[in-house]
Amino acid sequence: MKSETNFYIHDSNARNDEKLLRLRMRHKAAGYGVYFMLLEILRDKKGFMCPKDYNVIAFELREDAALIKSVVEDFGLFVFTQDGKYFYSEPFLQRMEKIGHVSKARREAAKKRWGSRDKKTEEEYFNQLKISEVWIIDMTIKHKCTREEILRRIDEFAIECRTRCNTHSSRQDMQRHFHEWLTAIEKARKRQPKADEPVGAESLKVYDQWAEAMCMKYHLTHEQLCERADEFVLDMKCGDKTLDDINNLRQYFNGWLRSRLQVNDNATTEKIRQPIAAGRAERAAAVASQMAALGAQEKSTAGLPY
C-alpha cells in the first residue's frame, strides 16, 4: 500500500483542543479513541468523506453506534454535506492540504456540502424567486417599484448571472445577491443621467406617487404638470444648469413651480383689481356728478314761491 493512503498529520497537543476536551469529559478515552479512528476512516475514503451509517461504522470499530453518533454530531468536530448523507472534518482537510492531497478532496466536499450548482439548480432558484410573493412584496417596498418591474428585473438578473457564470448556494443567497445587484443599478442610474435628457425631463413626467402629490398640492392635472415640466427644463437649459440626481431635480422643480404659480397668482390678482378700481372710480365720479347736479338745481329753485 502506498504511504500516502495510510498516514495523516496529528498534532501532539490535540487532546487539549476545546472540542476534544468536551468530548473527553463526556466519553473519556473511549470517545477520544473513536474520534481518531474516524479520522483514519476519513483518510481512506474518497474525497475524505464518510457515509453517515453509524451501524456500519460501529461494527467496523467494535463500538456502540450511539457513541459513534455522539462523537460525530454533538461536539462540532465534523460537518455534514447538504443532503446529510456524508460527514467530513474541515480541520482534517486543512491538515491534508499540508501534504498536497486536499485540492480535489475540497472540491468534492464543497460540491456535496452545497449541492450540485449546475444549470438546473440555478434555474430552480430563479423560478423560486418569481413565486416568493412575500419576498417580492418586500422588494417592491425597498426599491419603490411594482411587482411587474421586480419580475422583469429577475429576468435581467438571471441573464447576467448566466453570462458571468455566477452560482448561489441557496435561494436565500440568490435573494440577497439580487437585492444588492438591483441596489447597485439604482445607485448607478442616479449618478449617470441619460445623454439625451441631461436634466432628467422625462423623470418629471412619470405619473408616480410624487407626481400625484404635486398635482394635488398645486391643483393641476397631470397634463398641466407635464407642460410645467417642459417650461422648467427650458429655463434650466437657458440658464445652463443641470441636475443629475432625480431627488435634487424634483426638489428644484417644486420650488420653481411654487414661485411660478405665485407670480401668476399675483398677476391675475392685479388684473382683477384694476377693473374693480376703475369701476369704483367711475361710480365715485358719477355720484359726484349727480350730487353737483342736485346742488345746482336746489340753487336755481331756491327763490321760487310754492
Any domain includes 20: yes
User: Which of 55, 22, 57, 41 is closest to 89 using CA atoms?
Assistant: 41
Query: What value does the mean pLDDT take over residues 171-177?
Result: 87
- Confidence at 197, pLDDT banded by 50, 70, 90: very low
Task: Say how many C-beta atoms besides its own lie within 10 A of residue 89's C-beta.
Answer: 21
Residue 38 has what pLDDT?
92
Any domain includes 218: yes
Residue 73 has what pLDDT?
92
Range of the domain at 245: 201-292
Same domain? 45 vs 108? yes
Same domain? 91 vs 125? no
Residue 101, Cβ density class (10 Å: 0-12 exposed, 13-18 middle, ≥19 buried): middle
Boundary residue ending a domain (191, 221, 238): 191
Q: Rounded mean pLDDT of the chain?
A: 77
Same domain? 187 vs 137? yes
Same domain? 26 vs 51? yes
| Residue appearing with cell numbers 400625484 | 212
Residue 1 has what pLDDT?
39
Same domain? 19 vs 55? yes
Boundary residue ending a domain (71, 90, 114): 114
User: pLDDT tens digits for 126-145?
Assistant: 888 888 888 888 888 888 88
Cα–Cα distance between 120 and 229 in angstroms, integer?
49
Same domain? 102 vs 124? no
**Residue count (the chain):** 306
Per DSSP (E only), the strands in the chain are 50-51, 79-80, 86-88
Same domain? 69 vs 105? yes
Residue 303 pLDDT > 80: no
Same domain? 20 vs 53? yes
- Pairing mode, strands 50-51 and 79-80: unpaired
Boundary residue ending a domain (96, 114, 132): 114
Residue 66 has what pLDDT?
93
- Confidence at 196, pLDDT banded by 50, 70, 90: very low
Any domain includes 99: yes
8 Å CB contact between 83 and 95: no
User: pLDDT tens digits for 6-52?
Assistant: 566 666 677 788 888 899 999 999 988 999 999 889 888 877 889 99
Cα–Cα distance between 88 and 90 in angstroms, integer?
7
Residue 290 has what pLDDT?
74
Residue 257 pLDDT > 80: yes
